[in-house]
Amino acid sequence: MTHSDTCGRGPASLRADFPILARSVYGHPLVYLDNGATTQKPRCVVDAMTDEYLNVNANVHRGVHYLSQQATDLMEQARERVRRFVRAAKVEEVVFTRGTTESINLVASSYTQAFLREGDEVVLTQMEHHSNIVPWQLMRDRYGIRLRVCPVTDDGRLDLDALAGLLGERTRLVCVTAVSNVLGTVNPVARIARMAHACGAHILVDAAQAAPHLPIDVQAMDCDFLALSGHKVYGPTGIGVLYGREELLEQMPPYMGGGEMIGTVSFEHTTFNRLPYKFEAGTPDYVAATGLARAMDYVEAAGMEAIMEHEHDLTLYALQRLRQVEGMRIFGYGSLPAAPTAAWPETGGAGSVVSFLVGGIHHLDMGTLLDRLGIAVRTGHHCAEPLMRRLGVEGTVRASFALYNTRSEVDTLAAGIERVARMF
Ligand code: PLP
């Protein structure tokens, strides 16, 4: 698909590109509202991967033969595609990983070894996904670093005054999600980056929930590290990205050892490859890299501006419809959210996620009964147990939107919730 294939089409009309959306579930048309967990794949992504497996496949970076060179070219083209998507200055700063989780674990391990000493502090926030908490706890237990936690306000935002109070001379790194996977809160990461840098610390941005919804510009937001997952941005599973500032990556030791990441190996001594290969041990998922590149082409052709506008409309509409349900409790969104714009890293805002509970109905019951109506939502703690504790609940029901969702699906969700509520 070229730019002109998607350009100018309303996001809702892109549905035909996603065959799975035509499925029915328990006799109902599928209403897929679990996009925060993973997004569906447009046919062009699957086609690009099938084509590579059927016509190009060979291991990359190793062979002198034609296919290997062609596969290597495709992978390096994918890296360049990712560089443009996140607006990194250099391809050397784009490391392929298996996903956000691996990207953060890589930073936790290698950054800690390179830069942190016992008693140094890493600041996390109360709205982090477990994948931006647990890797740091592992480092705390291994190296004696200290973890500090920025609290969340009652209306679901980061308490930036409290954050300012946490930053001090022992702070080395601030780790923050760009968008909460539970509340939809869009955090002003550029402002947080300035706060971190002003006290000599670095910043890691978890962009897992931002990359599908908001334009990413690592230079404009001035972040030192940024992590994202391919499968949440309409790409395949098993591939993700770590953006890292070159001078930091240069000083960090490898995360894993093996093929590809070396210069020369002897039993006495091994030297390491240049960036980004130093961090890419073993055979990479080069076919998934191609799929991710295709997904990024797709998103950019659909237009981030159009996606933001469409998803914001859906979020507002969902808030309006869901608030009419008796006993509805929506988490976050203290006031109606400001539409995110390209300036989101400065302004913050609210994203395309709505978390809720209705009366005393358990989130699992609500999710299970909605599923019977063909409506796929997420239930539980969303890998954010500390945030659940802050909200005073065990779990929520979460509807999360993507570029292909429609107002009529929101109507189906609202009607489904009402129907479930009447059963109790
Ligand atoms: N961070 C956030 C905010 C997420 O929502 C998720 C996944 O839901 C992750 C990190 C982990 O992503 P993955 O499982 O793709 O590594």
Q: Whose CA is nearest to atom 12 of ligand 1?
A: 100
- Identify the pLDDT of residue 12: 60
What's the mean pLDDT in 230-258? 98
What's the mean pLDDT in 363-373? 98
> Angle at the Cα of 141 (from 140 to 145), degrees rounded to 5?
25
- Identify the pLDDT of residue 8: 53
Local confidence band at 62 (pLDDT 50, 70, 90 cut-offs): confident
- Identify the pLDDT of residue 2: 38
Average pLDDT, the chain: 95
What's the mean pLDDT in 206-229? 98
- Identify the pLDDT of residue 334: 67
In tens, the pLDDT along 131-170 reads: 999 999 999 999 999 999 999 999 999 999 999 999 999 9
Per the annotation, the verdict on 383 as an active-site residue is yes
Q: What is the largest CA-CA distance in the chain?
A: 71
Which positions ≥6 away from 47 have C-beta within 8 Å? none
In tens, the pLDDT along 376-385 reads: 999 999 999 9
User: Is 334 in contact with 374 (CB distance < 8 Å)?
Assistant: no
What is the Å distance from ligand 1's center to 184 Cα? 13
- Residues with Cβ within 6 A of ligand 1? 99-101, 129, 131, 177, 181, 206, 208-209, 229
Neighbours of 342 (CB within 10 A): 14
What's the mean pLDDT in 199-226? 98
In tens, the pLDDT along 176-206 reads: 999 999 999 999 999 999 999 999 999 999 9
- Identify the pLDDT of residue 6: 52
What is the Å distance from ligand 1's center to 178 Cα? 11
How far is Cα 150 from Cα 164, in angstroms, rounded to an integer?
9
- Identify the pLDDT of residue 303: 95
Local confidence band at 341 (pLDDT 50, 70, 90 cut-offs): confident
Please report the atom of ligand 1 found closest to the CA of residue 229. 15
Please report the atom of ligand 1 found closest to the CA of residue 232. 15
> Angle at the Cα of 12 (from 9 to 18), degrees rounded to 5?
95
What is the Å distance from ligand 1's center to 231 Cα? 10
What's the mean pLDDT in 348-372? 96
How far is Cα 185 from Cα 189, in angstroms, rounded to an integer?
12
In tens, the pLDDT along 85-130 reads: 999 999 999 999 999 999 999 999 999 999 999 999 999 999 999 9
Its sign, for the CA torsion 209, 182, 13, 26, is: positive
Percentage of the chain exceeding pLDDT 90: 92
- Identify the pLDDT of residue 13: 76
For the record, the structure tokens of 193 come out as: 């980056």
In tens, the pLDDT along 410-423 reads: 999 999 999 999 99
What is the Å distance from ligand 1's center to 351 Cα? 15
Which positions ≥6 away from 281 have C-beta within 8 Å? 254, 255, 256, 257, 258, 259, 260, 261
Local confidence band at 25 (pLDDT 50, 70, 90 cut-offs): very high
Please report the atom of ligand 1 found closest to the CA of residue 103. 16
Its sign, for the CA torsion 344, 233, 101, 54, is: negative
